[in-house]
């Protein structure tokens, strides 16, 4: 069988969840498992995230998958519902909604009695300058205060545009959040993703929403998962399926873009963009063989790559780590000009999941 495999380390996931608990001991943890748990596979991840207080997903289908797997924790739809008929399903399955515009408020109010009857919280989204979703100040104050007066339990929710960086917008977002929280007191609050959990412990409030850190990738460009004391959860690997010895001047792969400058040993590995491994690498990319970094040479094809194994003991069948504990996904992403999040999410269905 072609070996292109995704292995999920559940203990690493539990370890990372515990890191969230250490960093935000008084907050409840809403584990973000949208996009099939950032490409890791929701089923495996939920099994390791049993201790989480709640889950966050991007749509009703993702929430229902969690219910079908038998998990009873609260689930938040971070973009709310997309049409009124979803409200029925939401209430039946004890799912909580973000509301970020007037139409969603109308839908919520139309189902008020059942929603409140199930003790479901409403997550009211503040647009404090990211300008994606939410009500602005001062409108949101009016929205939350009237929802409270109608009997709803509200959580003031916000998302940082630059939690991973120093940016002047951070101060504006923080101060608007605090202003609204005060004007609507008492109201629960939630504004921290992974980066914010690390950076602003004072903003953990009632619910933190870790995503990428759970999976053992870094939200920061300048801090590795080792710096953050996180463990990579996914190991993406493949096998050496052919070996070639080439002379100086010979080329490798499509477009013959690589030319050997000396004699070398090449290995062909059964991975390609058909598996979700990126094709374009503006910077030199590497894979790891038993902890030893070796370069990828020539173009990435749909099913294969070539690597330099000169001086490395790597017979046929040797396992090659594309990303995982040795070759960090964040470093592959950097060479690819993107972020770890994207590489993890865009794996194709082809690799075998172990
Ligand atoms: C995806 C998401 C998160 C998690 O962000 P990470 O950077 O992965 O920790 C938190 N909150 C919201 C609203 C999100 O959409």
Distance from C-alpha of 336 to C-alpha of 340, rounded to nearest angstrom? 10
Tokens of 311: 């001086």
Query: Would you give the DSSP letter of residue 40?
Result: T
Q: What is the pLDDT of residue 214?
A: 98
- The minimum-distance atom of ligand 1 relative to the CA of 159 is 13
As given in the structure block, the two tokens for residue 205 are 């409030």
Q: Which residues of the chain have pLDDT under 70?
A: none
Confidence at residue 17, expressed as pLDDT on a 0 to 100 scale: 98
Closest C-alpha to 234, from 350, 330, 117, 102: 330
The residues, ordered by sequence, that sit 6+ positions from 217 with a Cβ below 8 Å of its Cβ are 225, 230, 232, 328, 329, 330, 340, 341, 344
Is 325 assigned a catalytic role? no
Q: Say how many C-beta atoms besides its own lie within 10 A of residue 277's C-beta.
A: 29
* Distance from the alpha carbon of residue 33 to the mean position of ligand 1, in angstroms: 9
Q: Which atom of ligand 1 is nearest to the CA of 194?
A: 9
How many C-beta atoms surround the C-beta of residue 137 within 10 A? 16
Which residue of 79, 209, 343 sits with most ligand 1 atoms within 8 Å of its CB, as the best mutation to test the pocket? 209
Structure-token pair, residue 164: 């991973």
Contacts of residue 251, Cβ cutoff 8 Å, sequence gap at least 6: 257, 258, 259, 260, 298
Distance 192 CA to ligand 1 centre (A): 8
pTM as predicted: 0.97
Q: Which residues contact 313 (CB under 8 A, 6 or more apart)?
A: none
Q: Which atom of ligand 1 approaches the CA of 197 most closely?
A: 9
Question: How high is the pLDDT of residue 354?
Answer: 86
Query: Measured between alpha carbons, how far is residue 222 from residues 165, 200, 330 in Å?
Result: 9, 17, 10
| SS3 of residue 8 by DSSP | strand
In this prediction, residue 207 carries a pLDDT of 98
Active site (annotated) includes residue 254: yes
Angstrom distance (rounded) from CA 40 to CA 272: 18
* Bond from prior residue into 75 cis (ω within 30 degrees of 0): no
Residue whose token pair is 């990579």:
232
Q: From start to end of the chain, where are the E strands? A: 4-8, 28-32, 54-57, 75-77, 95-99, 121-125, 153-157, 188-190, 207-208, 234-246, 251-252, 258-259, 264-269, 286-289, 292-297, 305-308, 319-323, 352-353
Q: Report the pocket of ligand 1 as residue ranges, CB < 6 Å.
A: 32, 34, 78, 159, 193-195, 209-213, 219
Angle between the 168-183 and 139-149 helix axes, to the nearest 10 degrees? Answer: 30
């Amino acid at each position: 069988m072609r070996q292109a495999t995704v292995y999920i380390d559940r203990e690493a996931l539990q370890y990372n969840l515990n890191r969230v608990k250490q960093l935000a001991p008084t907050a409840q943890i809403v584990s973000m498992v949208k996009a099939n748990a950032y490409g890791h596979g929701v089923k495996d991840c939920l099994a390791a995230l049993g201790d989480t207080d709640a889950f966050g997903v991007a749509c009703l289908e993702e929430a229902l998958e969690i219910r079908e797997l038998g998990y009873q924790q609260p689930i938040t739809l971070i973009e709310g519902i997309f049409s009124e008929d979803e409200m029925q399903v939401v209430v039946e399955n004890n799912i909580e909604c973000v509301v970020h515009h007037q139409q969603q408020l109308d839908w919520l109010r139309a189902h008020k009695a059942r929603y409140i009857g199930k003790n479901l919280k409403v997550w009211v989204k503040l647009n404090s300058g990211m300008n994606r979703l939410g009500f602005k100040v001062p409108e949101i104050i009016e929205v939350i205060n009237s929802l409270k007066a109608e009997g709803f339990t509200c959580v003031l929710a916000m998302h940082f545009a630059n939690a991973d960086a120093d940016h002047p917008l951070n101060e504006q977002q923080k101060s608007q959040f605090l202003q609204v929280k005060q004007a609507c007191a008492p109201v629960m609050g939630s504004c921290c993703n992974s980066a914010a959990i690390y950076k602003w412990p004072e903003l953990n409030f009632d619910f933190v929403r870790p995503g990428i850190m759970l999976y053992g990738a870094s939200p920061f460009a300048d801090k590795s998962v080792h710096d953050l004391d996180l463990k990579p959860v996914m190991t993406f690997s493949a096998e050496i399926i052919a070996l070639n010895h080439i002379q100086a001047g010979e080329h490798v792969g499509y477009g013959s873009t690589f030319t050997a400058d000396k004699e070398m040993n090449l290995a062909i590995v059964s991975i390609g963009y058909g598996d979700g491994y990126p094709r374009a690498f503006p910077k030199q990319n590497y894979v790891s063989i038993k902890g030893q970094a070796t370069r990828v040479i020539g173009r990435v094809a749909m099913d294969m790559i070539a690597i330099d194994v000169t001086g490395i003991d790597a017979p046929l069948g040797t396992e090659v780590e594309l990303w995982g504990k040795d070759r960090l996904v964040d470093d592959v992403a950097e060479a690819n000009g993107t972020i770890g999040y994207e590489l993890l999410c865009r794996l194709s269905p082809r690799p075998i999941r172990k």
